[in-house]
A and B are shown apart, each in its own frame.
Chain A
Amino acid sequence: MTLTEKILAKKSGRAVLSPGEFVLVDVDLGFANDLTGPPAIKEFEKYGNKVFAPEKVALIPDHFTPCKDIDSAGLVKMLREFSRKQKINRFYEIGQMGVEHALLPEEGLILPGTIVVGADSHTCTHGALGAFATGVGSTDLAFFLLTGKAWFRVPETIVVEFSGKLPEWVGGKDLILYLISKTGVDGARYKAFEFTGPIISRLPVDDRFSMCNMAIEAGAKNGIIAPDQITMDYLRQVNPGWVDTHPDFTLNPDSGTVYSEKIKIDVSELEPFVAAPDLPSNGFPVSRLSDVKLDQVLIGSCTNGRISDLKIAAEILKGKKVAKNLRLIVIPATQKIWQEALKEGYLNTFVESGAAVSTPTCGPCLGGHMGVLAEGEVALSTTNRNFVGRMGHPRSKVYLSSASVAAASALTGRITHPAEV
């Protein structure tokens, strides 16, 4: 069995599972945000009055927070009151709140071999630690709140093997943008991505999060990486108790596992990769887009708002100034990342370069607040989607890149290879 099949089999009480079967599984962690939580609560309340397992629930108001208007304040109030009533301790008020897919692993809540459902499509991020993690809708979440369960069709698995020598300035974001440019936005529809190979086994956790985060942009149900020493080292920091009680934990695909497709990628000749409007699959090597002029650069989000992203951006920006007529917005994804960036001096570097630094929020990624684009404006963003109107006006444009390309481009005012600055 594949990694995904193994987890679904274990959690549905089955010895063996095959793609196409339907299973009802026990969920280890379920969560929602300020946009998807309220409709889930509304459905929940039609059918029941007690959450099945409050300790398995997290509610994270991260999308329109700090609340952008009266209506969004109402949505967060609804989550707050529901949490109190249902004794859900993991309600993250601003001040503790972070972008959900950066916050939950940091809180030690994402564990290998578990099932994670989130009412947010980028829940697939958590496969980076070897969980089966997938985005669901609000009704699915209501069902989970009521029963502790979720239904799934067992997906076929596409295994993607990355090998070769990773060039300078190329990381997880570039690998996933390159992969999606090959598969298209529906190349992995209904399927699981299993990322493997010598490049993955050396890839830092933050890069793994970026890769699994964007599995959905190829249509995938989940992205997953077999837990290894890098995973365990990370878990030791965020949840030492789990590591101590699971000294012999392993999760690997069986030898001879049949995959629906095998993709092999030699990364040796890759350049940093950028997705042009209006699809994440519209990818090009950065040098092909060097004449694209920018109005705004955003560094942040569940894809690339982690400390390693801020570190590389700060190294590029240090002692330099953001291009004239360009706005640079930096959003550390969690309070912890924000504080570490403060301690390391990154925030000061950003501000001295002319950037605006924000408290954690998803805000601008989805055209919510804190950096919405006007008609005709062009942005380069370290986020995950560049659909029509994603970050604002339907006639604004979004390019997607890594944090290093974003920082370099903020200095020149056009899409730029980091080696250039």
Chain B
Amino acid sequence: MAAVAERPARPSTEAARSDTVTFRVWRGDASAGEYREYTVALDEGMVVLDVIHRIQATQAGDLAVRWNCKAGKCGSCSAEINGKPRLMCMTRMDTFERGQVITVSPIKTFPLIRDLVTDVSFNFERAKEVPAFKPKAPDPDGKRRMHQEDVDRVQEFHKCIECFLCQNVCHVIRDHEDNKQHFAGPRLFVRLAALEMHPLDTNDRRELLKARAGLGYCNITKCCTEVCPEHIHITDNAIIPLKERVVTEFYDPVAWLARKLTGRDRRRGIVE
């Protein structure tokens, strides 16, 4: 498999080359399917999604694929390209060796609908369980003030484009379908971290994290962080701080005693 370069080379300014490329694309639905080969012309600067579109336009009009922005901003076109989970719109063709046959398959953790399209409704259902944002009272003049440094940390989580590649590679659910019952997955942990660390939020989600979201199942192998196209430090900045908060809440005897004595919950237990 060709490695994806850190800094892609600049496309040359010469006239488009009359190259072709061969793709093996998964075709089929939940009942049956196979890889089929398509060879199409390749132009300067194309990405994998451009090739898929060209296959659609010239050879397989019914090839099912999700995409929207083709700019890495919407997170719709997740797939496994030569076995590596990526956004098709951000994978440049010139990062592969010329002449190499490229295999494109649907992401594997979610049920197949057709061809490259999977049923990702699991993620939308899990999102409904998250206790909503609940802001504290505004400042006395009615305004809300937050410092950029406090906002920066949460803005990292808000970069998430919901491509679900992190969910796709998380072995807790990729390899164990049963775990979907009691494990929300890295995308939801990023969402929960964004809420828990929001400077204005007052809601408490630690019970959810410990129980239904199944934070404890994550054994921080960082697979999610590695595939994140937005380069969110999912494990270090979202999951580990959440784990520490849950530990403080449920297993720290000092915190337990403090709660008993004061009758109050410690809201902000973030470990930097």
Q: Do A and B bind each other?
A: no
B interface residues with partner A (beta carbon < 8 Å): none
A interface residues with partner B (beta carbon < 8 Å): none
